[in-house]
Each structure stands twice: as structure tokens, then as C-alpha cells.
Amino acid sequence: MNADFKEKLKLLPKTPGVYFHKNVAGEIIYVGKAAVLSNRVRQYFQKSRTRDAKTEALVAEIADTDWMEVESELEALFLEAEMVRRYMPRYNILLRDDKSLSYIRIDYDSDYPTVTITRRPLDDGAKYFGPYFNSLSVRQALKYLRRVFPFATSKSVGQKRANLHYHLGLDPGLEEGRTSINEYRSNLRGLISYIEGHKDKLIKSLERDMTKQAKNAQFEEAAKTRNRLYALKNLNKQVVFSDKEFMDISKDHALNELVNLLELDKFPRRIEGYDISHMSGTDVVASMVVFTNGVSDKDEYRKFKTRIDQNNDFYNMNETISRRLSLQGQTLQPALGKSSHKSKNAWKLKLPDLVLIDGGKGQLEAAIKARDIVGQSDLKFIGLAKREEQIVIQKPKLKGQIEHPGSNVTVNQTALKKLNGYVTETEDFILINLSHRTNLIKLLQRIRDESHRFAVSYHSTLKRGRQTASVLDDIPGFGPVTRKKLLKTFGSIKMLGLADRAEIEKIIGIKKTELLLANLPEPKSK
């Protein structure tokens, strides 16, 4: 890299945008998007021993870089697709799997227009926008845009009533004629205009419409237009790809430090973090959070309820890890939604590359014992002690003729020195001391804090449910349906006690209301 190019890179802004890598002949060889241009572009020129051959070839050929700033990640997403289509850079093809390409499909001229994402554009008269290289980012973008430009995603056969999405402001409600087809197509034209990069014209058009409606005393319509205008301007604040785009596994500083320090044989693509939460041994729960490529992956989160309530975090951690790594007796619950037994077992086969235990030597030792008992000794375990934020590693142990690998990781002294760290040792453990400002400690703290938050959240839910159940369950004649109605309406026993008698009677009738008030502690009917 020559001196002029180095100076040019110093001018990179900390804003979203699209960048263009060029070769010595000035040909654009790669187009990419960035949430923060300065961070993203500079990553290409940092040393990394984990890049594949194609990426190394790209970096070796870069002689110059240009960029275009935009106001939001959404605009960067759509501009990247436009620029790739315009210049057809060869590395955008070489570095991507063709199966990942996706398009936005809008069948504008049909009698029931829908907006969908597809991988195969057809000659069917619909409008197609793309290609986009990350379908997840496109889905996220449409999720935000749907709040500004409500659209339908499908038409249910025989449906005559507006669906839930209409009442949430996300669907035009064509089934009941809540929006005319002409109004809906006008709305879709706004969506298309935004995708094509004409945001400024769109804002001016809405401002003119709002002013005109107000002058004509169409105040309700003017208010709707105003709300759309505000929502459109607020799209700049929405995170579409951000960390998922920025945290590329081969360039992330924290992951590089982790690999070098612990001499890992590969990048930890999947890191699982565990924590225990309870109150004096009651409602004991455990959390498992997952970070994929250094980014929180909430769809993969799981939560546990221990089989026995014990005020013993070592036992609780041992049970949690044993159940996580054993194919038998799984009673995990997905963090979001429900899943079948088959899908649970399929998930269980996704073993982590690294496990982070929230706690010190005792918790880590208990987790490693569980790991070894279920026959997963190859998995790498470390701990993060709360007080000093020390990385905890268990030394290898010998028991008879059988070696127990402990945390199964070692400390690279050169990398440790580079991070200005040092180690202290006990008989069984190595404690790594690093500055709290290092990228590595910040990443581990992020995982640890997220596992703690998720565990506490689940514990609080169980605690509230138990406290509520202890009151309503003891009332004769009150079944689960009645209890569910009351809790759904009033939210808690406290609010139920403050409710008007007439409000309760509307839900469960006169007789059950009398029974309820007679059994509630200190009933407060008005």
C-alpha cells in the first residue's frame, strides 16, 4: 500500500455507505456496504491468518478505494445492489455463493399486490429489485419499511376479513376494502421509490401532501401523512446489518485476540455462554446464549429449569451442561416460540466451538466434569470470574491413567505479552489477567452479561408465575382457563385486587367473582 493510499484511508467517514475497491487499472473489482465505512474498509488491510484464498486474492489486488456516504444502513443495502448490478465486479461473484442471492418481488399490477423475497426472478410481469447478497438484511429492511409503506405478503384463499397485520398498521386491508386498490398501489410506488434511492423526493412529496390535506381541513388524513413522514425520517436510526455485517469472522479484532491468546485451532464460530439464576435455591434456572461470529444469535438461545431446586451453583451448572451435551432426556425450551422434539434434537447436534461459563473456578470445574462424563472432552471451556474479570482455565488433570483435558486450551505467551496481560496460577487453574479495555475482554463481558440477563429474565418469570399461582390455585372451582382469563386481563394479583368488582364480573361472572373476592388476601373491590 503506497503512502497516498494510506492517507486517503484516513479520510474514511464514520457513517454508513458503499465502498468500491479498485485495481491498478482503476477497474472496480469489489463493491460492499458498511454501517461504519472507516471501520469496515480498514479491516481489509489488517493482518489476518484466517482469510480464505479468494479474500486474500482480493486484498492483494486492491490499489485504490472510493466510497459513497448515505444516511442509513437501509440506503446502503439498496445502493450496494444497484452498484453491483451496474459494475458487475468479478469478486462479488467469486466471494459469494450464487444460492445466497435474493430479490424483492412486487407484483404491482395484480388485483392483490404482494411484496415477497425470492431467489429466482421470473418473467411474470412483477417488478424485481436486487440481487441482494444477504437475504437476512433484506428481510430486516422490509420489516422496517413495512411500517412506513404497509403491504401484503400473501393472499389467503377465502379470507374476507382484514388480518392482524392490518390492525398493526402493516397491511392495507384489501379484504374489507379498508384501502382501495389505487391507494394501495400509490403506497407501493412510495416503497419502490425508496428502494430505488429516491428518498428525498419521497419526503418532499409527503410534505406537499400533508400541507395540502391540512389546508383542505382533512386533518385525519394529514395526521396519517405526518406519521408516515416521521416514520420515514426515522428509518435512518434502524439497524439493518450493522454488527452482523461488521463482525466478519475473519476480521473481528476480539475473535482474533481470542484465537491467538488461547491457541485455538480454528475461529470459534459458535460461542455458548451459561449462567445460573435463583433466589436462595428456589426457581433455579440456567441460560444458554449463543454468539455466532461474535454476534448475538437470539434464535439459538435456550433456557433450563433445573430438576431439583438447590442453593448450589456448582450442582446447578453441572446439571445444566450435562443436559445440554447429552442427547437423552432433553427438556430445553427455545428462547422464542415452540419447536418439535425432532427439531430440538437437531439443534442439539450443533456443538459449540467454545463455552464461556459465568463464574470462577468452582463453576468451571463443575461444568467440565459434566462435559467429560457425557463424552465431549474435546470441547473447549473457559470461565470469566466476576470480580476481576479474569479468564479462568483449568489445568489438565491426571486421574489414574486417564488424562482429563481440563479447559483444553493453553496460553500463548507472545499473544499475552502483546495484550499487556499476565497470568497467576493455583494448583488446578490458570487465571489470565487482561485490561478491561481490550477487545477480547469486552467480547467476553458482552457474552457473560447477556447470559446473566437472559437467566434473570427467566427466573423472574417463574417467580412471578409461582407467586400468582400460589393465590389462584388454592381457590376451589378455579381452573386453568379462569386463571388465564384473569391474568391476561389484569396482569397480576396486585392489579386484580385493585380492579372494580364490575370489571371482574365481566370476565368470570358474578358467582366466581364472589368466590374470588372471598379468597383473595385483603380483597380491594371498589
- pTM, two decimals, is 0.48
271 with 409, same domain: the answer is yes
Is residue 246 assigned to a domain? no
Provide the residue type at 122 as one letter: L
Q: If you compute the radius of gyration of the chain from its CA atoms, what whole number of angstroms results?
A: 28
Q: Quick one: pLDDT at residue 242?
A: 61
Is residue 477 assigned to a domain? yes
Is residue 465 assigned to a domain? no
Between the alpha carbon of residue 213 and those of residues 166, 223, 226, 231, 270, the distances in Å are 23, 9, 10, 18, 54
Mean pLDDT of 370-398: 88
- Domain end residue (candidates: 74, 97, 120): 97
Q: What domain range is 165 assigned to?
A: 100-237
48 with 168, same domain: the answer is no
Domains: count for the chain:
4
Is residue 243 assigned to a domain? no
Q: Quick one: pLDDT at residue 91?
A: 82
Is residue 232 assigned to a domain? yes
322 with 435, same domain: the answer is yes
428 with 515, same domain: the answer is no
Find the CATH number of the domain harbouring 59.
3.40.1440.10
Is the backbone peptide bond immediately before 131 cis, with ω within 30 degrees of 0? yes
Q: Quick one: pLDDT at residue 526?
A: 40
- Domain end residue (candidates: 63, 78, 97): 97
β-bridge mates for residue 399, sequence order: 402
231 with 340, same domain: the answer is no
Find the CATH number of the domain harbouring 346.
3.30.420.340
- Domain end residue (candidates: 97, 118, 135): 97
Provide the residue type at 470 as one letter: S
The grid coordinates of residue 474 equal 388454592
Do 421 and 427 form a contact (C-beta atoms < 8 A)? Answer: no
Tens-digit pLDDT profile for residues 445-476: 888 988 888 888 776 766 665 655 556 777 77
Mean pLDDT of 67-74: 87
d(CA 69, CA 76): 8
21 three-state secondary structure? strand
d(CA 166, CA 240): 24
208 with 325, same domain: the answer is no
Tens-digit pLDDT profile for residues 361-372: 999 999 999 999
* 435 has a pLDDT exceeding 80: yes
d(CA 40, CA 35): 8
Tens-digit pLDDT profile for residues 488-509: 777 777 777 778 888 888 888 8
Element spanning 32, H or E: strand 28-34
* 441 has a pLDDT exceeding 50: yes
Between the alpha carbon of residue 227 and those of residues 221, 233, 334, the distances in Å are 10, 10, 36
Do 126 and 105 form a contact (C-beta atoms < 8 A)? Answer: yes
Query: Which of 138-152, 177-191, 234-248, 458-472 is predicted least confidently?
Result: 234-248
88 with 106, same domain: the answer is no
Which residue stretches of 63-180 are H helix? Answer: 73-87, 90-94, 135-148, 164-167
